[in-house]
Amino acid sequence: MNLPPLPSFSGSAPAVAAASPTTRIIDTHTGGEPTRLVVSGGPVLRGITMAERLQELRDFHDHWRRALVTEPRGSAVMVGALLTEAERPGSDAGVIFFNSAGYLGMCGHGSIGVVASLAHLGRIRPGPLRLDTPVGTIQAEFMLDGTVRIDNVPAYRLHHQVAVTVQGHTMHGDVAWGGNWFFVCADHGQTLTSDRVDALAAFTTQIRQALQAQDVRGAGGAEVDHIQLTGPALDPGNSGRNFVLCPGLSWDRSPCGTGTSAKLACLAAEGQLAPGSVWRQESVIGSVFEASYQHGEREGEVRPSLLGRAYVLLDGQFIAQPDDPFAWGWPA
């Protein structure tokens, strides 16, 4: 399905204190995790590839990220998304994800939110569409009942059972790619319940610091910036539960699409889940993604599919008053 052309961006990059009066944002949540999508009037990106556009956004327009997802308009939990023209023939649009700490490669809950926003705008009808991201193209399908299927970029396990010690407890985890880099750990000794999220965030922050100190990295020296603790599901109808620390101090209210993809890659590598079998991933607040995988094109890679639902929360205009010292976000 081809989307109608995107409304043109505002011409030239806006000065820090002057957003286009037509900047339109739509907020959704997917399993409790918010996504704020800029659908028009955002920064003009001239890069050809999505990776170049991300670099441009980071280098020249980072005030937009801060304005959209840091306080007072956003918070650590908010994930932002900027809609762009498609990069590749056959794709419908491009999208770049970010949060209060920086930029994401892919975002599963965010992609589901983007599709729900496009449906809200009337730009798509039920059916398939393709979205380009800085780490590859994903295929999505907007279903008649409002659910969204995402066929993610290929996922794989890079390192098996890396040992790390935090708070006197030695545990082991796999380093895996699911569109972002994850440390996926089961023998952490923590109880994964929503009344413990502050303790879990502190614990996983220490894991991330310990991995950095041990120089444990993803491919190409990338930082392992997402930490996923896994455990048994509380709902017997689900397959497992997780707690995911995202870049910065935020934790994912959803089961984390890229984290679930990384988990599928680890399960596949261990021979614990067959291609096509359903894995129901429960988040620390009890929201669920239904996931499965097929073998990827390359040895050791899986192609994850995620099924979830996003709901529209807000459809509005971005305003930055010229005399507002915090209009473009805090911390600067």
Positions marked catalytic: 107, 256
Q: Which range touches ligand PYC (CB under 6 A), out of 13-21, 127-135, 251-259, 274-282?
A: 251-259
User: Which of 36, 109, 123, 188: binder of ligand PYC (CB under 6 A)?
Assistant: 109
| Least Å from the CB of residue 229 to ligand PYC | 15
| Least Å from the CB of residue 257 to ligand PYC | 4
End-to-end CA distance of the chain: 40
Nearer to ligand PYC, 14 or 174 (CB): 174
Nearer to ligand PYC, 23 or 111 (CB): 111
| Least Å from the CB of residue 10 to ligand PYC | 28
Nearer to ligand PYC, 104 or 320 (CB): 104
Q: Does 108 bind ligand PYC (CB under 6 A)?
A: yes
Which two structure tokens, joined as six digits, stand for 327?
Answer: 């209009």
Q: Per CB under 6 A, which of residues 68..97 are in contact with ligand PYC?
A: 79
SS3 annotation, the chain: CCCCCCCCCCCCCCCCCCCCCCCEEEEEEECCEEEEEEEECCCCCCCCCHHHHHHHHHHHCHHHHHHHHCECCCCCCCEEEEEECCCCCCCCEEEEEEECCEEECCCHHHHHHHHHHHHHCCCCCCEEEEEEECCEEEEEEECCCCEEEEECCCEEEEEEEEEEEECCEEEEEEEEECCCEEEEECCCCCCCCHHHHHHHHHHHHHHHHHHHHCCCECHHHCECCEEEEEECCCCCCCCEEEEEECCCCCECCCCCHHHHHHHHHHHHHCCCCCCCCCEEEECCCCCEEEEEEEECCCCCCEEEEEEEEEEEEEEEECCCCCCCCCCCCECC
Nearer to ligand PYC, 23 or 152 (CB): 152
Q: Which range touches ligand PYC (CB under 6 A), out of 21-29, 39-47, 248-256, 280-288?
A: 248-256
Which two structure tokens, joined as six digits, stand for 115?
Answer: 């599709």
Residue with tokens 């599709």: 115
Q: Does 254 bind ligand PYC (CB under 6 A)?
A: yes
Nearer to ligand PYC, 107 or 227 (CB): 107
Q: Which range touches ligand PYC (CB under 6 A), out of 100-108, 120-128, 165-173, 232-240?
A: 100-108
Q: Does 105 bind ligand PYC (CB under 6 A)?
A: no
Tell me the per-residue interface mask from 176 to 195 with ligand PYC, x by CB under 6 A, - otherwise.
Answer: ----x---------------
| Least Å from the CB of residue 109 to ligand PYC | 3
291, 255, 311, 290: which is closest to 119 by C-alpha?
A: 311
Which two structure tokens, joined as six digits, stand for 9?
Answer: 């961006």
| Least Å from the CB of residue 72 to ligand PYC | 21
Q: Does 148 bind ligand PYC (CB under 6 A)?
A: no
**Angle of the 108-120 helix axis to the 257-269 helix axis, nearest 10:** 130
User: Which of 245, 256, 302, 310: binder of ligand PYC (CB under 6 A)?
Assistant: 256
Nearer to ligand PYC, 29 or 123 (CB): 29
| Least Å from the CB of residue 63 to ligand PYC | 22
Q: Does 246 bind ligand PYC (CB under 6 A)?
A: yes
Please classify residue 326 by burial: count the beta carbons closer than 10 Å to its beta carbon, then call 0-12 exposed, 13-18 middle and 19+ buried.
Answer: middle
Q: Per CB under 6 A, which of residues 29..48 are in contact with ligand PYC?
A: 33
**Site residues (vs ligand PYC, CB under 6 A):** 33, 79, 104, 107-109, 180, 246, 252, 254, 256-258
